[in-house]
Structure 1
Amino acid sequence: MSRRTLAGGLAIAATLTLTPLPATAEQASVAFPSAKFPLGDRPVPTKTATAVTQGIDLYDVKAGTSTDGYTVTVLMPSGRDYGMQSTAETKAAEVEAAGETPSVQKVIRPSVADAPIQTVYMVRVGLWSLEDKKKAEETAKKLKDAGLKVKVDYLGDDGLKTTGPWDVKVVMIDARTFRGSYVSSLGTSVAKRETVSSMAKAKHALVGVNGGFFNIHTDKALRGEPVGASVVAGKLLSEAVPGRSAVILKGHTAKVTELRTTVTATSQDGQKTEVNGVNRAVATDELVLYTEEYGAKTPAGGTDAVLDANGKVLGLRESGAAVAAGTRVLHGNGLAADWLHEHAFQDWTVKVDTKVVDLRTNQALKLTPDLYVIAGNVGLVRNGQVKITAKRDGHDSVNMILRRHPRTLLGVTANGSLILATVEGRNPGVSVGANFQEAAEFMRWLGAKQAVNLDGGGSTAMVVRDKLVNRPSDGVERGVGDALLVLPH
């Protein structure tokens, strides 16, 4: 392993190494593993087990020790904390001009299934113990006063070699003995964000975890909208990002796969057109379907065709109004608005056909009332092997692949048992989180044959019998777009 020495004579690991895991043995049921913890130096974890109900066990797992400290990282002109070697060397010269001693650190971001290895460089100043963060902050202030953009970095977050510690909550649900069901929830509306605690309490859930990403790049009042597929009780409430990981829930079964959705509007005159999205902000010339679950007004500046439950056009209206109970709205602007004016006359019928296709089987899902879908973030494990699909899912940066963050993880075992886990992070000296590779290895260790990363960071939350059992990295539980809930019936 290559190393670079920072000020103070200490060293930072500059590459990531992981100990290979033995193949997980086939099990008749889900059980907590007896092998050593799979991360870091493979310490023996401590665990506390709690029976939640028949077939569901909660494990509070702790492993590793704290040996990481702090450094000051210099930001590149792009705003990132890494760049090409020439850029890093230029920044290092600026640090020297400010009177500090820099280190140019080579960092190798490991390859994943759909993205090759990447080499980048970081500029860092000093190395201090966990107790000496204030000294790191003093150096950071000096560099800022000299005109440099910097941040104080906890080295446990790097994604490089660490001894931990880790603080993990794991729920194991035995497919043989659990008789409840799995559902997804968007809370009171698609547009609104709610805490997992709120959604779990409303449904009397035994267990709840946060779901997939929600759209933080839209209007503040609409940020509960999932980024990816959402099906609640057989109704498509958000379209898929084609090929992105997803979890299909039906009864007490869960399946990890990838999805594609198509929505088509067909007028009674036979004219068809694509519906570009469901319950989200609209772009130019787009046609978007809004359902009564949206919980917000349709966008202003277009045309709404209001449909009853059978597709009858109740009328055209200027957009910017709520979706009434028992109705749906096709909203269009530009060319899409023209289509509505030409093919959605009052009292005509416009049929809206929705299709959700499992890309692993190429079969359409039956949109029955017991079907639920939540969008995953990044695929981690497929058929028992690590297969991280970060690029396909839009997360192939150094920050997403290599750096450690709080994680919410979902896995399915060979016999269909469900594993839910939260890895706490961003808590120096207490828990370092996990990067994608570590998250995948951890889920394999737990026995998952298929696994995905759900939303993480400040969104990571696990609720068991109305109690939040993990520590959110924001300090308080964050409102999220959707949740996976485990119900007693």
Structure 2
Amino acid sequence: MRSARLRALAAALAAGFALTPVPVAAAGGDAQLAPGVTYRPFELSTSHGPVRGHVVRVDLTDPRADLGLLHPGSVAAKDEIADLTNADGAVAGVNGDFFNIAEEHPGVVPTSSATGPAIADGRELKGAVPDGQRFGPALPAGTSNEDVLALGTDRRARIAHLDLTGTASGPHGRIRLSGLNQYALPVGGVGVFTDEWGSVSRARAVCGTDEDRSAPCSERTEEVVVRRGVVSSEADDPGAGEIPSDAVVLVGRERGAEQLEALDPGDPVAVRTALLPAEAPPLEFAVGATPILRGGAALPDLDTTELAPRTAAGISPDGSVVHLAVVDGRSAISSGLNLRETAELLASFGATEGVNLDGGGSTTMAVREPGDDLATVRNVPSDGRPRQVANGIGVFRR
């Protein structure tokens, strides 16, 4: 069976971009991590040098195999993938979404918050920042920062588009909400922060514009704390610190700030938000991701020049099988892949839909084989050590 897979992989890769896999039986071949879950290292020979990678295959038709979001407990926090994998008892994990890794605004601390939406165990954690505020490669045509790799309540994986809807209803009417636990809000918008955010300052949310992440921070802002459905305080500038579980914080900029300024302590305010997938059942898990493979073909405008470490995920036609793949790069022993090659690699595994995740120094795969006490990092991170990241994808035994 393994030889047949390798022959199919060789044919597909050779047709797409002249990659030829090297058999890895000597490195252990397929390892059964749990029912429905296998792990395999692989090697590729390319026109731009050797490439080493790793792939975890998850068969969701086995009721004992599952996927979920790995995250540090707060949206504005980060940790290493091996630590997140072990903390949640997963058998494998890879890094997830791009995140607020650096900051262009003097005096503003990076939040480490992911760029796209996130759902964990059916719980909506955060929405997507405006496309111009995201980190990572340019989005392919027809995609957006609201796209996610997701698992539905039907136990089928899919690429979904999550729209945030929400309102803050008070004595002066309804205020439309355009953010949920996000490090950047749309110009003129109002966002809500919950106890899921953590203690990091919310000041970054009013910096930049919808088109320019490095544009100056807004000078017209307002923050309102709503506790147990009643406004408890207001301030001109976004604050910091833990948010109580019975409270939410509304932050507005420009027109949004003007709307919040109409609220006074003692005013009743009802806050509601929802992340709604288009044409999909409710989601158990979602992580921000960029589509690169659609209908079995790489999207037409993917980059073909930049070689880098990559993390990606591919989905079978019926959504029952997910391949989580990483390839190392930026070294003599592994040159990395460009985005088009990454899409074609996913297709070679039998995926018809696929996404790119955070790459470069963030690319990490941790695996716990039977008999191991802990999951360990299997690839070679290009930073020389694993990077702390905002979230990841965990593979679980139910």
Give the TM-score of the pair, scaled to structure 1: 0.64
Give the corresponding residue for 1:246: 148
Give the corresponding residue for 1:374: 287
Instruction: Tell me by how many angstroms 1:213 deviates.
Output: 0.7
Q: Distance in 2 between matches of 1:462 and 1:425?
A: 14
- Helix, strand or coil at the partner of 2:64: coil
Give the corresponding residue for 1:58: 39
Instruction: Tell me by how many angstroms 1:56 deviates.
Output: 0.8
Give the corresponding residue for 2:358: 455
Amino acid at match of 2:397: P
- Helix, strand or coil at the partner of 1:236: strand
Q: How many residues align?
A: 344
Instruction: From the superposition, tell whether residues 239 and 461 of structure 1 become closer, same or farther in structure 2 (CA, over 3 Å).
Output: same
Asked whether the 8 Å contact 1:381–1:388 carries over to 2, the reply is no
Give the corresponding residue for 1:186: 71
1:414-448: CA deviation from partner (whole Å, max 9, x where unpaired):
241111110111111x1111111111111111100
Q: Does 1:384 align with 2:296?
A: yes
Q: Distance in 2 between matches of 1:281 and 1:205?
A: 31
Higher RCO (CA < 8 A, seq sep 6+): 2
Give the corresponding residue for 2:192: 289
Instruction: Tell me by how many angstroms 1:293 deviates.
Output: 1.6
CA RMSD of aligned residues (A): 2.8
Q: What percent identity do the matched residue pairs reach?
A: 25
Q: Distance in 2 between matches of 1:354 and 1:345?
A: 26
Instruction: Tell me by how many angstroms 1:234 deviates.
Output: 3.3
Q: Distance in 2 between matches of 1:354 and 1:210?
A: 25
Give the corresponding residue for 1:349: 269
Q: Does 1:484 align with 2:388?
A: no
Give 4+ residue runs of structure 1 displaced > 6 Å after superposition: none
Give the corresponding residue for 1:468: 377
User: What does residue range 154-233 of structure 1 map to in structure 2 within 5 Å?
Assistant: 161-162=47-48, 164-218=49-103, 221-233=109-121
1:422 to 306, 326, 335: 326
Q: Distance in 2 between matches of 1:449 and 1:338?
A: 47
- Helix, strand or coil at the partner of 1:58: strand
Amino acid at match of 2:230: V
Q: Does 1:446 align with 2:349?
A: yes
Name the larger-Rg structure. 1
Q: Distance in 2 between matches of 1:203 and 1:213?
A: 21
Instruction: Tell me by how many angstroms 1:404 deviates.
Output: 1.1
Amino acid at match of 2:32: A
- Helix, strand or coil at the partner of 1:317: strand
- Helix, strand or coil at the partner of 2:258: helix
Q: Distance in 2 between matches of 1:51 and 1:281?
A: 41
Instruction: Tell me by how many angstroms 1:279 deviates.
Output: 3.0
User: What does residue range 41-52 of structure 1 map to in structure 2 within 5 Å?
Assistant: 41-47=18-24, 48-52=29-33
Instruction: From the superposition, tell whether residues 486 and 375 of structure 1 become closer, same or farther in structure 2 (CA, over 3 Å).
Output: same
Instruction: Tell me by how many angstroms 1:34 deviates.
Output: 3.0
Range with bigger deviation, 35-44 or 345-354: 35-44
Instruction: From the superposition, tell whether residues 372 and 438 of structure 1 become closer, same or farther in structure 2 (CA, over 3 Å).
Output: same
In structure 1, the gaps of 5 or more residues are: 1-26, 66-160, 391-399
Instruction: From the superposition, tell whether residues 257 and 284 of structure 1 become closer, same or farther in structure 2 (CA, over 3 Å).
Output: closer
Instruction: From the superposition, tell whether residues 202 and 250 of structure 1 become closer, same or farther in structure 2 (CA, over 3 Å).
Output: farther
Instruction: Tell me by how many angstroms 1:229 deviates.
Output: 1.4
Give the corresponding residue for 1:123: none
Asked whether the 8 Å contact 2:57–2:324 carries over to 1, the reply is yes
Q: Distance in 2 between matches of 1:471 and 1:287?
A: 41
Give the corresponding residue for 2:8: 35
Give the corresponding residue for 2:245: 325
- Helix, strand or coil at the partner of 2:192: strand
Asked whether the 8 Å contact 1:388–1:436 carries over to 2, the reply is no
Instruction: Tell me by how many angstroms 1:179 deviates.
Output: 1.4
Amino acid at match of 1:298: R
Q: Distance in 1 between matches of 2:165 and 2:363?
A: 30
Instruction: From the superposition, tell whether residues 181 and 36 of structure 1 become closer, same or farther in structure 2 (CA, over 3 Å).
Output: closer
Instruction: From the superposition, tell whether residues 326 and 469 of structure 1 become closer, same or farther in structure 2 (CA, over 3 Å).
Output: farther
Q: Distance in 2 between matches of 1:446 and 1:263?
A: 39
Give the corresponding residue for 1:236: 124
Give the TM-score of the pair, scaled to structure 2: 0.78
User: What does residue range 3-82 of structure 1 map to in structure 2 within 5 Å?
Assistant: 32-37=5-10, 38-39=13-14, 41-47=18-24, 48-64=29-45
- Helix, strand or coil at the partner of 1:173: strand
- Helix, strand or coil at the partner of 2:351: coil
Q: Distance in 2 between matches of 1:235 and 1:61?
A: 35
Give the corresponding residue for 1:107: none
1:305 to 184, 200, 224: 224
Instruction: Tell me by how many angstroms 1:221 deviates.
Output: 4.0
Instruction: From the superposition, tell whether residues 306 and 402 of structure 1 become closer, same or farther in structure 2 (CA, over 3 Å).
Output: same
Instruction: From the superposition, tell whether residues 254 and 389 of structure 1 become closer, same or farther in structure 2 (CA, over 3 Å).
Output: farther
Instruction: Tell me by how many angstroms 1:231 deviates.
Output: 2.0
1:393-429: CA deviation from partner (whole Å, max 9, x where unpaired):
xxxxxxx54221111010111241111110111111x
1:237-262: CA deviation from partner (whole Å, max 9, x where unpaired):
33235733311124653212333333
Give the corresponding residue for 1:98: none
Range with bigger deviation, 269-278 or 53-62: 269-278
Instruction: Tell me by how many angstroms 1:284 deviates.
Output: 6.2
Instruction: Tell me by how many angstroms 1:387 deviates.
Output: 2.0
Amino acid at match of 1:423: V
Q: Distance in 2 between matches of 1:469 and 1:208?
A: 10
1:106-155: CA deviation from partner (whole Å, max 9, x where unpaired):
xxxxxxxxxxxxxxxxxxxxxxxxxxxxxxxxxxxxxxxxxxxxxxxxxx
Q: Distance in 1 between matches of 2:159 and 2:5?
A: 21
Amino acid at match of 1:177: D
Q: Distance in 1 between matches of 2:178 and 2:159?
A: 26
Asked whether the 8 Å contact 2:9–2:349 carries over to 1, the reply is no
- Helix, strand or coil at the partner of 1:167: strand
1:94-114: CA deviation from partner (whole Å, max 9, x where unpaired):
xxxxxxxxxxxxxxxxxxxxx
Q: Distance in 2 between matches of 1:279 and 1:344?
A: 24
Amino acid at match of 1:278: N
